[in-house]
Structure formats: C-alpha cells, structure tokens
Chain A
Amino acid sequence: MELVPFLKVLSEASGVSGYETEVREIVRERFATLADEVCVDALGNVIALKRGIGPEPRRRIMLAGHMDEIGLIVTRLDKGFLRFTQVGGFDVRTLMGQQVIVHGRKALPGIIGCRPPHVLSEADRHKPVPMDELFIDVGLSQQELEQVVRVGDLITIRHPFIELQNELVSGKAFDDRAAVVCIAECLDLLQGLRHEWDVYAVATVQEEVGLRGAITSTYGIAPDVGIAVDVGFGKQPGVPEGIAIELNKGPALCMGPNIHPAVFDMLKATATRYEIPFQVEISTRGTGTDANAIQLTREGIPTGLLSIPLRSMHTPIETLSVKDLARTGRLLAHFIAGLDERFIDKLTWKMPAGEAK
C-alpha cells in the first residue's frame, strides 16, 4: 500500500473530536476494501472486521487508532471576529498567526490574528496571549458573519502536508491518523497472510477529549486482546532522555501497568523474529491513549500499545518517519498472524509451580 498518499489525504481532511465526518468517510472507504464488513457505531467509530480462518467461536483482536484531531470551536461572534476555545489540548503559543478553516455553513479560510509588535509594550511582547484573548478573522463583517457562522461551529488548523529529507514527512493530525495508516497497512498485509483470529480494526473517535470512542467500541467488540496504536514523544530538544523515542528506529513497545506483560513479550518476540526495528518505552500509569480505555473495559482486556515516534506533537508540523509507519504495519500484521490458542494460554496467569488452578 502507498503510505504517503494515504497519510496526506487523512492529514489534510478535517475531523475534530466529535465532528469526524469528513475523515470518517475516507477511512470507511479505505477499510471497506481491506475487510469483510465495515460499520459505524453510535459515537461514530469506524469498525472494520476481517474474519480469521480459525473455527467458531473465533477469538478477537482489536486494533485502535484514533481519527479525531484537536481543533477549535467558536464561542462567540465578536464585532466581525470569532472568539474560540479548544477541543483537545493545544499549546496556545502555537496559535498566533496560524491559518485555520472555520466550518460554518461553508468552509471559510481564516487567520488567528495577532497585534503587530510595533504597537505592543516591551512587557506585552514577553507574555503569551491567553486563548480567550485571541480571535479569528475570516474577512467578513459582523452581519455577513452571522449568516454563515454560529456558536459551536468547529475550526480546524489549516496546514499542508510537507515532505522533508530522508523520508520524513510533516503535517497536522499525524496524531493519530498516522496510526490509522499503520492499521490499514496491517490489514493490507493480512490479505496475504493466514490468521486464525477475527481482526477488528477500529478508527476511534473523540480520543483527544477523553478516549471516548475507545471506551464504547471496546465494550461493543469485547475483544480477547486489544492493541492501541498512537504516537510517542520523538526525540527533540526539550524532551527528556527518559521518555524520548527516536525517529526512524521503529515503533516503541510500551511496558508498565497499562500493558499486559504477555502482549508486550509477544510483540517484542514478533519484532525480533521478523527483524523489525523497535524501541521500548515505559509508562508508570494509565497511558494517555486508547490503550487506557481498552484495558479497563468489562472484565479487563489484555492490552498492548505501539507508539509511532513523532516530533512536535499537537502542532500543525507534527513530523515522523514514513519507514516507521511501514514497520508498525508489518509488526501488527505478523503479530496477528501468529495468534493462536497457545497465546491465550500465555495470557493466563499460572501458579509459579506451573499449574493454574
């Protein structure tokens, strides 16, 4: 599968948490070519089922990558300008001078305006402007504005997809549409691999506002194992050594309380066997990803997490290595192809003497 074109179209599509319609259609269409069935649930998650060849009732593996992006939302119309607040977590300092699209009755290009430095005092120039003092200019009068925009309309960051050197690419919403690309790549590779378990590939919604799509889709699917794919903190100035993962060194396998040790071991063994470069990251609490919701669903689900190394997370210039996407897709595919009843046995706790009661 061509990864860059798919990532580009996903990145440039709009789909703020709760309003994922545009990106959902793109994902649904693509998943439909790679799976036996695709449906959309009550919250808007896209759930694709690719059946395994094992005997019924088949075990289920769920993959989750979120398709929602952080964005902004109109709070007031103010003398021809738009006031806004965030949907998901922004660094407000990245917003000044940013171009946006306001999704009113029609899509309106806009600018997050800022006052020119010439008129600011020395003190003013040294303070970030808080979000409720920023405004968006779409170049219309208040009267015209009232015809096309209302309170609650969503706003996306407008930024083109860019190719850098060494197969690094940059754009908005790689968190977490890059994972959706990896999951699609995995489904594509599975067309040519035998797998016993049913695969539920889910492009989740509303992760950025509380893992909400993962909570409900996992409940509905009730998988035997769940693997979330998200982005991790790529090495760059400001990211401490203990948590940074490097670009172009493969996905990071997470370990810690949120992760089932046998799932981690199996991912690691698969990566080793198929010579897929990987890294390891730790998390000492619930991860800030769909993996957190998956593990705590129903009676508890053995969960894994793969993190795609990403620089500049939650900015329009998120950057990753395309090679890492291919590696993540391959790792998922081979992991799934290796799932059988013996793995269920590995997931089951044993008495140290060797027998489970």
Chain B
Amino acid sequence: MKETIKKLVEAFGPSGYEDEVRAIIQSEIATLVDEMRVDALGNLIAFKRGSGNGKKIMLSAHMDEIGVIASYIDEKGFVRINPIGGVRTLYEVMGRVRFANGTMGVIGVEKMDDPNQVPPMDKLFVDVGATGRDDCPVRVGDVACFLQPMVEIGERLVAKAMDDRIACAVLIGTLRELKTSPHDLYFVFSTQEEVGLRGATTGAYGIAPDLGLAVDVTFAPDTPEPAVKMAIELGKGPAIKVKDSGMLATPWVKEWMIDTAEQNGIPYQLEVLPGGTTDARAIQTTREGVPAGCLSIPTRYVHSPSEMVSYADVLNAVKLLTALLANPLSKKP
C-alpha cells in the first residue's frame, strides 16, 4: 500500500491535467474491476458489479491536486503565476515546483512593504533559470505542482497531494480487500475537484447513484495554536463527516457509517469542518437528490507541500470502507 501511495502522491496532476495519475490508477485496478471508462471531464469510472439485491453506490476520490499556471513570462524570463485551486501563497514561497514538461523552478517573491505580511499571488514568480523570454522553457498556460518526495516520519506519511491521492489509495486498497459486495459499485477517480467539484458533478449525473460516498482529507488541528479548532486528531481513526461548509451528510448515511465502525471495532472520529467541502456536495444535489456522506482522512498541513497523515488512519479507512460496502445497507433512509 505504501508503494501505491508514494507513486500516487509524487505523480504530476494539477486540476485539468490528471493524465499521469489516471494512468497509475488504471494499472493498479485493471484486474480488480469489471469495466473502466473515462468520461467527458476525464473522470476515471471503474465499475465492479455486485452480487445482487444491492444498491448503486458511487465512491469518489479526486485525482487532482492544487497547482499554479504560468500567466505571463516577463522580459527576464521569470514566470508569473495564477493559482489552480485553493493555493495559499504562504505555503508556496521559497518552495519548489515542477511543470508538466519536467522543468523545475523555485518560487521567489518581490519585496513586501510590510515584510510580516503574507504576499499576494501577484508578487510571486517562478525562477526556472531562464535569462529572457527566448530561453524560457515555460510558456503561458503551462501548469506546475509542488515538487516534494514522500517521506515517512515514524508511522506518519508526509507528501504533497495527500489531498486527495491518499483517498485514491484508500479506494484502491478497498478494491483489493473487498471480496464481494451486494452493491453495484462505481469507483470514481474524479477530476477538477479543487476548482469546484467539477468532475464529480458530471460524473454523478452520468451514474445517477442511489448513494454517494466521497473520500477526502480533513484538517487535523492537533498542532500548537491551530487556525481552526476541531475535535480531530491524527491517529484516532478516519473521520465520519457530519458537516462541512458545502454540505450536511445525510443523517441515515452518517448513522450507517457510525454503526458499521462500532460493530467492527474500527476507531473513528466525528467531523464538523468549518471551511472546505468535497465531492459529496456535488453528488448529493445531482438530479432528484442522492443520499451522501464522506469518509475523511485526518491530515495536518493541508494544501502545503508537506501534508501529513497517520498510516494507521489510512488502513482503518480501508477497513471501514470495505465493511460498509461488503454488506447490504443496514439503515433505512
């Protein structure tokens, strides 16, 4: 599982440019599913037929990561950038990025009138070692993501793009663990979540599921003086989402997840996330409405180059998701 995670998090895949990630996932799951297809927005939809008398369930984990796009090349060959998704300049400055064509760069910043303030995006630039527009290997429109290898710190895994490749790994792990299920399962590896849940919106419309479950990361603010206070800690189990800024989990789906965790002795936490949302929001308002929930992996330092998760939480997420899908729904809507 760790090798799969490493391959996924180190792959290049800002929103709209998920091809490399999709290829990795396709090769990992080809033998585990009945059909795979790619839809108009680039979602990878993997179908595993159920044994019967089940529901049509859509799982969703997004392949895209936040990144930057080259907006302008100045006369000295420095690359100006605009964000792709929720990029915080605080986490970008002095970091390293990689463009699709392999070009690497360092993010520099202009002087600030107040050096203690966080710089706005238009004061940042990428230094790719060029001297002018002519020898700049990057053109307007090229996209880049963080450049960071995955490391292990004790049982913790640290990498860029844990959001949301760790969830892609959880779905892959679940496919490996799941022997049978009564349900027709659509494992959707979605695109463009970070820029507005776009892949999940069209993917859910096409599938029209009876139930939707997203897997994504949530904040673990168990560090000194966190910006946001929540009752989530690393290592205390995956989180069952109650609410985030875009959606309220359907109550009976939430209860089903809680009951299943308790019955199987899987540790879990309850999550109320004040800022941020997931593919579950898009699934829930598809067509006539879809009962939906979300399983979250507690993560420190979200949207930074060094997102940290607990490997035990990841394994427990796989356990919980497998237990949920292996059996008929225990709760009536």
Contact = CB atoms under 8 A, between A and B. Distances in A.
A and B together in one complex: yes
A74 B248 CA distance: 13
25 contacts: A17-B248, A18-B250, A18-B251, A21-B251, A41-B288, A41-B289, A43-B250, A43-B289, A45-B289, A73-B242, A73-B243, A76-B230, A76-B231, A85-B274, A150-B270, A152-B242, A152-B243, A152-B254, A152-B272, A210-B246, A215-B285, A217-B289, A219-B289, A220-B287, A220-B289
B288 A74 contact: no
A38 B250 CA distance: 21
Contacts of A73: 242-243, 272
Given A42-B290, A75-B231, A219-B287, 9 more contacts: A43-B285, A73-B242, A75-B229, A76-B230, A85-B272, A87-B243, A212-B247, A212-B284, A217-B288
A151 B231 contact: yes
B271 interface: yes
A216 B243 CA distance: 19
Interface in B218-245: 229-231, 242-243
A77 interface: yes
Contacts of A209: 247-248
Interface string A161-180: 00000000000000000000
A19 interface: yes
Interface residues of B, number: 26
Interface string B266-285: 00011110100000000011
| Majority SS at the chain A contact face | mixed
B288 A216 contact: yes
Most buried by A among B251, B290, B333: B251
Contacts of A18: 243, 248-251
Interface residues of A, number: 30
A206 interface: yes
Nearest to B285: A215
Most buried by B among A42, A210, A213, A215: A42
Nearest to B248: A18
Given A43-B284, A152-B243, A216 B289 contact: yes
B243 A42 contact: no
Given A87-B243, A87-B248, A151-B272, A75 B288 contact: no
| Majority SS at the chain B contact face | loop
Most buried by A among B250, B285, B286: B285
Nearest to B228: A132
Nearest to B241: A152
Nearest to A43: B289
3 A-B pairs with least C-beta separation: A18-B248, A152-B242, A216-B289
Contact of A216 (B249, B251, B285): B285
Most buried by B among A132, A212, A217, A220: A212
B291 interface: yes
A83 interface: yes
Interface string A142-154: 0000000011100
Given A42-B333, A73-B272, A75-B272, A151 B289 contact: no
Contacts of B289: 41-43, 45, 213, 215-217, 219-220
B284 A74 contact: no
A216 B269 CA distance: 30
Interface string B14-25: 000000000000
A151 B246 contact: no
A42 B250 CA distance: 9
Contacts of B229: 75-76, 83, 132
Nearest to B286: A216
Contact of A19 (B246, B251, B270, B333): B251
Interface in A192-242: 206, 209-210, 212-213, 215-217, 219-220
B145 to A, nearest CB: 30
A17 B250 CA distance: 11
A217 B27 CA distance: 40
Given A19-B248, A87-B248, A42 B288 contact: yes
Contacts of A215: 285, 289
Most buried by B among A45, A83, A151, A220: A151
Contacts of A210: 246
A42 B243 CA distance: 18
Contacts of A219: 287-289
A150 B240 CA distance: 13
Nearest to B290: A42
A213 B285 CA distance: 8
Interface in A84-105: 85, 87
Nearest to B287: A219
A216 B270 contact: no
A132 B249 CA distance: 22
Contacts of B250: 18, 42-43
